[in-house]
Chains A and B, each alone.
Chain A
Amino acid sequence: MRSPLWTRWARGGVLVVLTLFVCAPLYVMAVSSVAPLRDVQGPFTWLPSALTLEPFSQMWKTVPLGRYFLNSAVVALAATACSLVLAVLAAYAISRYRFRGRSGFLTTVLSTQMFPGILFLLPLFLIYVTVDRTLGTELFATRTGLVVTYLTFALPFSVWLLVGYFDSIPRELDEAALVDGTGPLGALFRVVLPTALPGVAAVAIYGFMTAWGEVLFASVLTDDRTRTLAVGLRGYATQSNVYWNQVMAASLVVSVPVVLGFLLLQRALVQGLTAGAVKS
């Protein structure tokens, strides 16, 4: 279908403006991360006066970025792994069995998504501190506490997405495995899971992104030792002199893995993200 001239112009205009809007911060991040300090301390320069990779080496010294990085990586990976296991098991139960409380579970889990984080934060802080004091555990201000917290954040969406995936896999497949004498867990891990691999990958990257970018709980449930990137990056700003080129370099470095993962698994993730809205 041919469209009249004005719509083509309007479409072009929309796309150009949106591209500029989307790219402006990306451009600033990229350009400033290779600019010398004097560039980012004066009025904004569209092109750096010199190219330098110094911010990428200096950024590790201004704040303990390495430690934050390690904390974030450990916490995000552990939370992702745990939530993946829990989500796969729960989704398998919901997809393959009919039992009392099945829809109640799904509804409850999904509805927690609408609550503000702040509602859980204050009590969780109290609970962790109290449990630590009475049972001698280490939940408050530790990576463990953060992992336990984060693994639930991705759980509802992960379960929801995986149930959809599992439902699309013919039951005959796991029934055949059951007849062959593998237990239901064997059917899950040997038959269903390999078939649902794109969904599992999407759930994993989603869980990782959630944990990697979480700010609210990290700001309260961590201390100097366990601070994650999401909070630690603000450390540059509290220095008397803000090294903006280092901040931008650090932002770039912490973004690249997540963005790449997201874009690689785009299709599977987007499917899951939008399924809820489109289906109903």
Chain B
Amino acid sequence: MSTTTPSRRGGGQAGAAPTGPLPPSAAGERAPRRRVPRTWFPHLILLPALLVELLVHVVPVLVGVFTSLLQLDQFSLRDWSAAPFVGFGNYAVVIDLSSPVGADLLRSFGTTALYSALVVGLCWVIGLAAAVALHPPFPGRGLLRTLFLVPFALPAFASVITWNFMLQRDTGLVNSLVVDVLGLTGERPFWLVGENSFASLVVVSVWRTWPFAFLTLTAGMQSIPAELYEAANVDGAGPWWRLRMVTLPMLRPVNAVLVLVLFLWSFNDFTTPFTLFGQAAPAEAEVISLHVYNSSFQTWNFGLGSAMSVLLVLFLLAVSLAYTGFLRWRRDE
């Protein structure tokens, strides 16, 4: 969810007990010490969470890195730990742009980058517009706020399948609107195959995700002191200037986190394209998660698939680190 490390880390250290050289076993006698004595209790109650995290997240990542070094296909899958070790062979195939595998990965990567940029940008703009429009109180504001949250609350598979119905060429609402009501084109366009499919994917994804931007920006705007707006009013600033001189600068820290979260979500998004297109996504809309999924589970070439996911994670890590580094640099400027 949030990719920030909690700000409360570090603080509160002063409350720690003067533990000193006391051995952990000494905690058994429940000393009347005020602060928590040295005890294994916190570790003990943390353990279950730690174990499942290890099983479902940490170990799989390690196994994933390991399998990316194996020639793991439908023949060796049965006894996968004995699959031939090929070192960085899979990586060489995956990044060889002259091979079909590498070329497909690069195309899919480009699609995902564009998709992600559009989704982040549109969600932010729409979310900001809604947050600003709903800032001053008026009757019905609470109702609209709740309504705007519904797309975010709906199970993705249910809302995306509804979009699939709406985007059907012959029976969908979109073509009924575009062709029959507005008469924009004579020919009924296809929305789920061919070049339009990318635009469809972006629209559906924005529909699902923008409420989160709206939520976050609304919360951010509520923490802006009203005096700032009053001061701007005294200076004779119009609504446009209030937005530019007060709202946007004050939202900067919120934006920093919001953009990163939206970026990671959209870049890793699998549910939307998978539910919208099914397994056979049109090439124009085959984003990277779907691409890795398909190349793993249709051809059963797990070695290549793992290599692709490892590269994907390295890319995301690099972007996140560069981004947070940039933010820090800008703050220190």
Contact = CB atoms under 8 A, between A and B. Distances in A.
Interface of A: 1, 3-4, 7, 10-11, 14-15, 18-19, 21-26, 28-29, 32, 40-44, 46, 85-87, 89-90, 92-94, 96-99, 102-103, 105-124, 126-127, 130, 148-149, 151-152, 155-157, 159-160, 163, 167, 175, 184-185, 209, 212-216, 219-220, 229-231, 233-234, 237, 244, 247-248, 251-252, 254-255, 258-259, 262-263, 266, 270, 273-274, 276-280
Contact of A93 (B45, B176, B312): B45
A215 B289 CA distance: 12
B150 A26 contact: yes
Nearest to B141: A15
A115 B17 CA distance: 36
B60 A220 contact: no
Contacts of A111: 3
B96 to A, nearest CB: 21
A119 B2 contact: no
A278 B216 contact: yes
A103 B64 contact: no
Contacts of A279: 7
Secondary structure dominating the interface of B: helix
Nearest to B257: A277
A216 B5 contact: no
Given A119-B310, A216-B270, A237-B164, A22 B257 contact: no
A210 to B, nearest CB: 10
Q: Which of A18, A107, A122 has the most CB of B within 10 A?
A: A122
B148 interface: yes
B313 A119 contact: yes
B220 A97 contact: no
Contacts of A44: 171-173, 175-176
Given A18-B126, A215-B156, A118 B289 contact: yes
B257 A25 contact: no
B156 A213 contact: yes
Contact of A277 (B60, B180, B219): B219
Contacts of B62: 123
A278 B36 CA distance: 31
B246 to A, nearest CB: 12
A110 B64 contact: no
B289 A116 contact: yes
Given A7-B239, A89-B46, A248-B165, A115 B313 contact: yes
Contacts of B309: 116, 118-119, 122
Contact of B320 (A114, A258, A262): A114
Contact of B52 (A86, A116, A122, A276): A86
A18 B148 contact: yes
Contacts of A151: 52
Contacts of A93: 41-43, 45-46
Given A116-B313, A220-B297, A213 B271 contact: yes
B173 A114 contact: no
B234 to A, nearest CB: 11
B306 interface: yes
Given A86-B49, A123-B60, A273-B212, A106 B147 contact: no
B173 A277 contact: no
B298 to A, nearest CB: 12
Secondary structure dominating the interface of A: helix
A99 B309 CA distance: 34
B53 A155 contact: yes
B139 to A, nearest CB: 13
B98 interface: no
Contact of B153 (A46, A149, A262): A262
Interface stretch (B8-16, B84-92, B102-110, B193-201): B8-16
Contacts of A32: 165
B238 interface: yes
6 contacts: A25-B166, A89-B49, A90-B50, A113-B3, A116-B312, A118-B289
B223 A156 contact: no
A28 B275 CA distance: 17
Contacts of B168: 244
B185 interface: no
A259 to B, nearest CB: 5
Contacts of B99: none
B9 A106 contact: yes
B310 A234 contact: no
A263 B149 contact: yes
Given A19-B144, A118-B289, A24 B56 contact: no
Contacts of B4: 110, 276-277, 280
Contact of A25 (B12, B163, B223): B163
Contact of A212 (B10, B146, B155): B155
A10 B215 CA distance: 20
A247 B165 contact: yes
A112 B156 CA distance: 21
A252 B239 CA distance: 41
Contact of A251 (B16, B158, B316): B158
B198 to A, nearest CB: 19
